[in-house]
Amino acid sequence: MPLVPTSSIVDSAREARVGAAAFNVIHLETAEALVTAAERTDTPLILQISENCIRYHGSLLPLTRATLALAEGSTAPIAVHLDHITDADLVHQGVAAGVGSVMVDASALPYEENVATTAELTSWCHDRGAYVEAELGEVGGKDGVHAPGARTDPDEALAFVRATGVDALAVAVGSSHAMHERTAVLDKDLIAALHSTLPVPLVLHGSSGVPDDELRRAIAAGMTKINISTHLVSVFTRSIRHTLDADPALVDSRKYLKPAREAVAEEAARLLAVLGAPATVPGQYAAQAPARG
């Protein structure tokens, strides 16, 4: 199946009131595992490559090209997205390489600078057919610090979306990056307010720390794109530890990477089923029709 646009996955999920899964690639093994999960469940999936991941590998092209090749060869609908990109050069390189979307992350800048930077890169991306996500303010725990008090103001968010022209917005509603326990409780009333105010899909970062039922409630309240990284990284690492503990003399990396890859594929498939099922929640959390224009 050809690579699909990120917009087709996000827009279809929004219309169906289900989650658009966006799982992070760390290396080739995780990319293979995630594509396997999408194929086993016949579910659309957004593969994300973060700026931190690019820095780890030393450059953008090798892993990005490999991920694009896996997506293009998959039987499932797969999009490839760059996540939390602060360097404009990486935006340019990624779009030139063929990624369908980018998260432009200027959230650490003062508001006016965030608007100007995001608007400029959004215009550049749109001219080349790429979809743009952005972030207003900083979602809690960007540097691993649990900060569940961060919240996005709906009126400020609307002004930001109108000023920048972005296609999707990451919002702070109680999740936190890099959580190792799935204990976060989200502000569903705020999610519903943001959904009814904004004309673009909402993105939940830090979803690794959110339990299944809470993810379902967030989607029903109006969240669309659900980003998960740390949880799946933990599954991969736990599998490797288990394999090496069982056989300390093992030296062939394929013999511990293969079961780890399978463990991620199984958990990713389970999460795709969680996110792809229509949710029912109490009436006060039901999303209203989104604003337009």
Looking up tokens 């579910």, which residue turns up?
43
Q: For residue range 201-252, list pLDDT tens digits in order.
A: 999 988 877 888 889 999 999 999 999 999 999 999 999 999 999 999 999 9
Q: For residue range 2-15, list pLDDT tens digits in order.
A: 799 999 999 999 99
Q: For residue range 31-50, list pLDDT tens digits in order.
A: 999 999 999 999 999 999 99
Q: For residue range 169-188, list pLDDT tens digits in order.
A: 999 887 555 454 555 668 89
Looking at residue 291, its pLDDT comes to 46
Mean pLDDT of 105-115: 91
| Three-class DSSP category at 262 | helix
Task: Let me know if residue 290 belongs to a domain.
Answer: no
d(CA 199, CA 162): 9
* b (16+ CB within 10 A) / e for 102-127: bbbbbbeeeeeebbebbbebbebbee
Q: If residue 79 lies in a helix (H) or strand (E), which one and from where to where?
A: strand 78-85
Tell me: pLDDT of 271 over 90.
yes
Task: Let me know if residue 42 belongs to a domain.
Answer: yes
Q: How confident is the model at residue 280 (pLDDT cuts 50, 70, 90)?
A: low
Tell me: pLDDT of 148 over 90.
no
Tell me: pLDDT of 74 over 90.
yes
Mean pLDDT over each residue of the chain, to the nearest integer: 89
Among candidate residues 157, 222, 187, 236, the one with its CA nearest the CA of residue 15: 222
Task: Let me know if residue 171 belongs to a domain.
Answer: yes
Give the CATH number for residue 207. Answer: 3.20.20.70
- Supply φ then ψ for residue 181, to 5 degrees: -120, 140
3-state secondary structure 104-115: ECCCCCCHHHHH
Give me the active site residues, please.
Answer: 83
Domain residues for 222?
6-285
d(CA 200, CA 56): 32
Tell me: pLDDT of 147 over 70.
no
Q: Count up the domains in the chain and report the number.
A: 1
Looking at residue 53, its pLDDT comes to 97
Task: Let me know if residue 194 belongs to a domain.
Answer: yes
